[in-house]
Every structure is written in C-alpha cells, then in structure tokens.
A = this chain, B = another copy of it.
Amino acid sequence: MNTLREIGEFGLIAKIRNWMRVSRPEVLRGIGDDVAVIGMGKRSLLITTDILIEGIHFERSWTDPFRLGRKALAVNLSDIAAMGGIPKYFLISIGLPKRLSFSFLSLFFRGLKEEAGRFQVDLIGGDTSRSQKIIINICLIGDGEKRELLFRNGARVGDDLYVSGTLGEAALGLKILQDKKLKRKSKRLIERHLAPTPRIQLGQTLAKKNLPSAMIDVSDGLLIDASHILEESRVGARIWEDRIPLSGVYRKWVNIYSKDPYRIALDGGEDYELLFAAPKKNRTGILSLARSLKTPLTRIGEVLPEKEGFSLIGKEGEKIPLKRLGFDHFK
C-alpha cells in the first residue's frame, strides 16, 4: 500500500475519516457523506463540494464553456437534491491558463449564471489562480428542515427501491463523445453527459412528503451508488435487471458499445438521477407524485436482510454476479 493507486479512492476516504476526528457535536454528517450536515436548531446547514479538472473530468474539445459552467454547478446541486435540501449559495475556485480566451470565460460564467438562476442559488465568493489545466471547484451551501432530510442510512428490510428518469444515457453520451470513428452522433445522449439536470424539485418533494427512507444521487453508477445505501443502512437488496428504466434513444445506440443492453445503465455514472428506498405503504404516494411532477419513478428492486447480500436478478430469475461495482478515481 505505497501509492494512491493501490489504496484507491474509497480506501483513501476511509483513511482520512480515521485520521481526522470530528469534535463539534453539531456536526451530524461529515467525511464520507456527499454532503456535510450541521445541526442548527430545527434546520440543518448543508455543505458539499466537487472538483472538476480538465483532462480528468472533461476535455475542452468535447464540451463548450457554457455547458461546462452549467455542469460544474449541476453536480453539486444534485448532491443537495439527494437529501431533499434547498441549495442557496456557492463559492467557486477556478484555476485558469493565462492564455485562456476571455470569450471562454464569459461563456463559462453565462452557463453558470443560467444554472444558478434556474435553481435560485447565489454566487457569494471564491478564489482564482493561474494553472496549466482548467480547474473548477464549487462549494455549495444549502439547508433543510432537520426532520425532513434524507440520508443513505435509513433503508429498512422490505422497502422498495426506486430510481427516477432513465439510466445510462450520460455514460453512453460520453462514449459517443470519445468515439473518433463515429460519423453521426446522438445530440440527446451527448447533452445528458454535458448538461445533466439535477433533480432538485423531486428531491425536495420526496423529502417534504416523507416518502423515502434513504436516498442518494446516481453519480458513480447505479450499482455502486446502491451499494452505498446498502452499506450505510446495513441491509442487502435485489435489483431486477429488466426493470432498469432505459430510454428509446439509449436502446437505439447502446448496441454499438455493449452486447449487454443493461451493462452501461448499471455501471455508467453521471446520470444524476435519484435512487431511493421507500416503505411499501408509500407506493400509492410515490405513484401520484411521479404523475404530478411528470417524472418517471420506477420500482427496480427491494431491500433484503444484510446476510442476503446485493444481487442483480436476470429475466429468468437467475442471479447475475456483480463483479465490478463501478469505478475508482485512482485506479
């Protein structure tokens, strides 16, 4: 265990959690969660941060500065959405090459402004620096009613598992962007990768109606994000593969990159949909909420006792082994 590559991202986070001790009692959630939670009476302060680095998270040749601005904020908004919180303010640290054109920056901030306006969040500060590659770090602050907020750790045996929207489009969009041989490209799929929509209203409504028992956003891929809920809730689960919601455009393009039509939807990241567990008694409530928000909410699985583990069930009822749960930033 001598390099980062060997310990991996989750190994590193576990180490950091071990090294650094939290002493202030009002810190309700800290290292290891997507959002930090500070208790302040009946409300809680929510803080999340995400870093985007050119060459790692995006390429200047794939994206345009307007969409980059939108996405930089969207990925943070999605973390707040997954708790049912209200995003309010953000700070941005940017590292910029000296020769970067002014029009790039002005378009980047136009995208940032559009996304900020859409979700009523205010830019309140930041830092700027020179750097070789573009670096964007956003720190987003929000809040929520303490008793309404949703975490990863509330799922109970017998709960249903739901996911919003459709999966795999962002990952497929990325493959299309990276594909130099392709002549015709799918704008819709590329757009899902470059300009994802955070599920702010859905998250808030679910939390206000107290329907889910646990929630997370699908950023690393369905299987890996589901496993976070299971680990923190100390439960197992089964997911029915053929219930995974796939869009028509995904089905049309997926066979170029995978014989298995579900693999990319299960493993691919950056959909920024919401995945949640909810007691069976809330099925009617969830159905009617899906209708009123015009947002598909699909029941894809169920929560089992921890000893049952996590399994994916195929069409014929067979267990599909989960060899690889998503990816790791350092591997």
Contact = CB atoms under 8 A, between A and B. Distances in A.
Interface of A: 1-7, 9, 12-13, 15-16, 19-20, 22-24, 27, 29-31, 33-36, 38, 40, 45, 47-51, 53, 55-57, 88-89, 91, 93-103, 105-106, 109-110, 112-113, 116, 120, 122-133, 135, 137, 139, 141, 329-330
A206 to B, nearest CB: 23
B93 A130 contact: no
Contacts of A30: 122-125
Secondary structure at the A interface, as helix, strand, loop or mixed, is: mixed
Contacts of A123: 16, 20, 22, 30-31
Contact of A95 (B5, B48, B53, B127): B53
Given A20-B109, A47-B124, A89-B24, A329 B3 contact: no
Interface centre among A5, A35, A135, A141 (most CB of B within 10 A): A135
A72 to B, nearest CB: 12
A271 B244 CA distance: 57
Nearest to A28: B124
A250 B200 CA distance: 55
A33 B133 CA distance: 26
A36 B89 contact: yes
A13 B93 CA distance: 12
A49 B127 contact: yes
Contacts of A132: 55, 132-133
